Structure formats: structure tokens, C-alpha cells
Amino acid sequence: MGAAEQGVRIERLAERHAIDRFTCGQAELDEYLQRHALNNRSRHLSTTYVALVGDEVTGFATIAPSQVSSAELTPATRRGLPRYPLPTMTLARLATHVESRGAGVGRQLLLHALLEATRMATEFGCVGVRVAAKPDAVGFYQQFGFVPLEPSVSAPVDASEQPTHLFLALNRIEDALRPRA
């Protein structure tokens, strides 16, 4: 863990967290955190975790249970898995405060989400983590081993601005969690 990462702690979002000053530069993500994240948790739709330095929210990640069809998985990933829908965890949102970019906060939040997926797998089943990555975030996820899901039949023709659907299989999460040199 880098020096900038050492002072970061990750907690489940609660009323006491000062989220009103959070800004990542994308209005829809800021609005989600400030207006919807706590409500979604109370409605059992998703859980949001915040990265904190002192009392300052430096980032957040939202996770939710989901599923993946075997047809969406690459042949190598689906090998040995049943053909019915499989339980997964979706990393629904991940954002870092504009003043914390490059400090490893996003990495820590992603690793926390991957740890949650391993816990989910042990407690009630999870074959991996899926994410719909914005075009400028694809490389971030790929460096941890995420691979594209097979395109859906209903995918739009012009996908240049559409998210890329990525997946990290449970057996690869352990590799992603290893410290990097």
C-alpha cells in the first residue's frame, strides 16, 4: 500500500458521513451518493462504502448482488460452470473525489469490493464481479484482470459512448488481491 493509501479507511456509508461536499467531477455520481445511496441501502437495493481520510469522504463504491448468464462469459471463464444464471456481485459505482485522484483511493475501494465478493461467495454464492465501465475506466479494471463479457444480442449499434461490460471470475480475484510491486 502506498504512503497516500495508508491513511484511508473504508466504512459502510452511514448518516454520519459528510457526503454533501463530495465531488468527483461527474454530476450523476455525485448526485447518486448525496441523494440515493443511503435510501438504496435502506431499501436493500445496494450497499455503498466510503473511503475516508479523517472525516473527509475521498471516494465511494456501490455494490449489489446480480447474476450473469453463461452465454455472457467467455468460453474459458464458463468452462466447468452450469448453464443457468450464476450469482455475481456488481460493482455498480466507483468514484474518487477530484482532490484524491492518483492517491490510490479507487484501487483501495475496488480491492474492498473484491474482498466483499469473496465473502459473498463463501456465504451464499458468487462466481465473480461484473462492472459496466465507462470508456475512460476500462484500463483501470483490466489491470486487475477484468475481461470483457460477451456482447449481448441487444447491444446498441453505436457503442462508442456505452459502458464496456467487464467481468472478473472468482478464481482470478485472488490474483487481483495480491500486493503489486
Confidence class of residue 77 from pLDDT cuts 50, 70 and 90? confident
Q: Is the pLDDT of residue 94 over 70?
A: yes
pLDDT digits (tens, 9 = 90+) for 132-181: 999 999 999 999 999 999 876 555 555 566 899 999 999 899 888 887 76
Give the Cα separation of 51 and 10 in Å (integer).
5
CATH number at residue 98: 3.40.630.30
- Tell which residue, 67, 44, 80, 43, has the closest CA to residue 125: 67
Q: Reduced to 3 states, what is the DSSP secondary structure of residue 164?
A: strand
Domain range for 169 is 3-177
pLDDT digits (tens, 9 = 90+) for 103-119: 999 999 999 999 999 99
- Tell which residue, 129, 143, 134, has the closest CA to residue 162: 134
Give the Cα separation of 150 and 170 in Å (integer).
17
Number of domains in the chain: 1
pLDDT digits (tens, 9 = 90+) for 25-76: 999 999 999 999 999 999 999 999 999 999 999 999 999 999 999 899 988 8
What per-residue confidence (pLDDT) applies to 2? 38
- Tell which residue, 116, 120, 130, has the closest CA to residue 74: 130
